[in-house]
Chain A
Amino acid sequence: MEVKKIFLPESELPRQWYNILADMPTPMEPPLHPGTGQPVGPDDLAPIFPMALIEQEVSQERYIDIPEEILEKYLFWRPTPLYRAYNLEKYLETPAKIYFKNEGVSPAGSHKPNTALAQAYYNKISGTKRITTETGAGQWGSALSMCCALFGLECKVFMVRISYNQKPYRRIMMETWGANCVASPSSETKAGQTILAQNPDSPGSLGIAISEAVEAAVMDENSKYSLGSVLNHVMLHQTVNGLECQKQMAIAGDYPDVLIGCAGGGSNFAGHVFPFVRDKINGKDMDVIAVEPASCPTMTRGPFAYDFGDTVQMTPLLPMHTLGHGFVPAPIHAGGLRYHGMAPIVSQLILDGLIRPEAVPQLETFQAGITFARTEGFISAPETNHAVAMVIREALKAKEEGKEKVILFNWSGHGLVDMAAYEAYMRGQLSDYALPEDEIHRALDDIASLPKPKQYTRPKI
């Protein structure tokens, strides 16, 4: 019988996180404060983050020790198993070997506790009594609630009211782990009170919930705020995944030719691939693919430039992949990047040619998710399906080429509380749209006059 799952013994749990900032061929440019134009410093962030996390945010140390208290609690679900997807390989009739890292086995069902646990710990040792955060459907909120419980911290979750009312299961998960979950807007903050005064029946929004969570942290000296995506320290904590994978692939006797992850804010992708990207920086030949939705081509089409944070274009911010501040093509908008963009480190690695971005249409992702469920059994989160779709593409490409490639991807979470999205697909309610070339050109012209980082190169279209 062939080995399906490759387990690491608990003694092999990584003792350090990997910080790719130490190895990046092009050093990152600092984020600039919108008011002063100076780099954002520790004092700017100290009201909401403990100093240990702020230090990690800017650290250049290659490896950062994982404290023993975190290791003990990582063992609740880590090391996570690495699977060989034999049934999917057989279905696709591919010579490729497909491996996937199952991050869906965490108590919260996704990769998010990898950083939630670390953030809870550093808050605990810094004297924080309560952590605040915001959440929509509750994937991040539930991960943080669980990790706060493990460290005896209070957790205050501002859950968007419409989600609070319509998605009770993750709210109940949060409450089960002891979190105080309130519908946002709430009467507990000035931000919430202002909204409720205008509209007592407001269904809320993520913007309001973030305002409430930050305000609640700033107003209480015993409280801090926690974020589950985009920032450097979040990606640092996620590298425990990729570091485990390196050991497991060695046990399997393979090394990935192709490495794949889905990229929203970038943290699950970063955690999975960064330790391997270090190998690539040092000369290893592999294809590292970040997959995003085709309808929001932040990475695949956008140039690397400064975005501007106000209407008079006076505040250069984080350099990132973008389609420009005025990019409003008809009929589709580059919506995701208008929110926060891809994590700056991931953008830089794309620019350096170490990561290859790809976009996959929505229908293809759901078809891939169903194929995966019917061959390997697991029902993926809709975001994870982007990675699955790219795996299938690469496996079929290997078949055409007659190459026995080794493909490794991050199965970042299950979709068991996301079945409505599958239902919409199976009922034929979803459709695809490709961004027209002329709209891309218009967007590039829009930012042509803006200052660029020194390493800027105009992308191919």
Chain B
Amino acid sequence: MRRESTPPGEDYKIRCPRLGHQITFSYCRYENKGLPCFKVLDCWFTHFLVEDFFRKELQPDQWKQAFERPPKTKMLTLVELIQQAKKTQKS
């Protein structure tokens, strides 16, 4: 286990439980429209001091947006996406 404060390089990959294959930290860091993936702290904390890294890297509002937003169920996600697509259709 590496517990360093800097992220591993591009030669270091771990399994992404969402995608189902190996990825580098650079993907997780910007996965959510430029913000980190909401699971990044789960997945990377055993590999380096990922929380410390993002505490320094992100503004407080970015931290909240990335990690403290409420969860969404799949049903809610679908209903919201349907509504969003209908708006797109009308416009």
For residue B45, which residue of chain A has the nearest CB? A331
User: By the criterion CB–CB under 8 Å, are B73 and A340 in contact?
Assistant: yes
Instruction: Compute how far the CA of A211 lies from the CA of B80 in the bound complex, rounded to whole angstroms.
Output: 10
CA separation between A42 and B89, bound complex, in Å? 20
| Those of A72-119 within 8 Å (CB) of chain B | none
Q: Which residue in A206, A309, A431 is a CB contact (below 8 Å) of B70?
A: A309
Query: B86 touching A218 by the CB < 8 A rule?
Result: yes
Nearest chain B residue, comparing its CB with the CB of A46 = B82
Instruction: Please name the residue on chain B nearest to A330 by beta carbon.
Output: B51
Asked whether A420 and B22 contact (CB < 8 A) given A211-B81, A219-B85, the answer is yes
Q: Is B73's CB under 8 angstroms from A326's CB?
A: no
| Assembly CA distance A40 to B43 (angstroms) | 33
Complex interface: chain A residues within 8 A of B76 (CB): 31, 34, 309, 315, 317-318
A333 within 8 Å of B by Cβ? yes
Contact status A33-B79, CB under 8 Å: yes
Chain A proximity mask over B27-69: 1 for CB below 8 Å, otherwise 0: 1000111100111011101110111000000000000000111
Kindly state the interface size class of chain A when it binds its partner.
35 or more
Residues of B within 8 A of A155 (CB): none
Interface of B is mostly: mixed
B81 touches A309 (CB 8 A): no
Q: Give the docked Cα–Cα distance between A34 and B80 (Å).
A: 8
Chain B residues, Cβ within 8 Å of A431: 1, 46-47
- Whether the Cβ atoms of B72 and A424 lie closer than 8 Å is no
Q: Are B1 and A219 in contact (CB under 8 A)?
A: no
Residues of A near B45 (CB, < 8 A) are 331-332, 433
Q: Are B19 and A318 in contact (CB under 8 A)?
A: no
The answer on a CB contact under 8 Å between B13 and A203 is no
B71 within 8 A of A: yes
CA distance A35 to B75 in the complex (A): 13
Q: Let me know if A296 is at the binding interface, CB within 8 A.
A: yes
Is the beta-carbon distance between A214 and B38 smaller than 8 angstroms? Answer: no
Q: Which residues of B contact A167 (CB under 8 A)?
A: 21
Once the chains are docked, how many angstroms separate the CA of A163 from the CA of B67? 24
Is B15 touching A341 in the complex (CB atoms < 8 A)?
A: no
B residues in contact with A325, CB < 8 Å:
70-71
Which of B16, B18, B23, B89 is in CB contact (< 8 Å) with A219? B89
Please name all residues of chain B whose beta carbon is closer than 8 Å to the beta carbon of A339 when the two chains form the complex: 18, 38-39, 71-72
State the CA gap A336–B72 with chains docked (Å): 11
Contacts of A420 in B (CB 8 A): 13, 15, 21-22
Contacts of B39 in A (CB 8 A): 333, 335-336, 338-339
A residues less than 8 Å from B82 (CB atoms) = 44-45, 47-48, 214, 218
CB distance A307 to B38 under 8 Å?
no
Closest to A307 in B: B71
Closest Cβ of chain B: how far from A257's Cβ, in Å? 31
Contact check, B20 vs A166: say whether CB atoms are below 8 A apart: no
Distance to closest chain B CB from A12 (angstroms): 33
Task: Decide if A332 touches B42 in the complex (CB within 8 Å).
Answer: yes
Q: List 23 A-B contacts (CB under 8 A).
A: A34-B79, A45-B78, A45-B82, A136-B21, A190-B88, A205-B31, A218-B89, A219-B89, A229-B74, A307-B73, A309-B71, A309-B73, A311-B69, A313-B70, A317-B73, A328-B41, A331-B49, A331-B50, A337-B71, A339-B71, A339-B72, A420-B21, A424-B14
Chain B contact residues, CB within 8 Å of chain A: 1, 12-23, 27, 31-34, 37-39, 41-43, 45-47, 49-51, 67-86, 88-89
- A162-B19, A322-B71 are known; give 15 further A-B pairs, CB within 8 A: A34-B80, A47-B82, A47-B86, A190-B88, A296-B42, A309-B73, A310-B70, A318-B76, A332-B45, A333-B39, A334-B42, A335-B38, A336-B39, A339-B71, A420-B15
* Interface set of A (CB-CB < 8 Å, partner B): 31, 33-35, 40, 44-45, 47-48, 136-139, 160, 162-163, 166-167, 190-191, 195, 199, 203, 205-207, 210-211, 214-215, 217-219, 225, 227, 229-231, 265, 293, 295-296, 307-311, 313, 315, 317-318, 320, 322, 325-326, 328, 330-341, 382, 418, 420-421, 424, 429-433
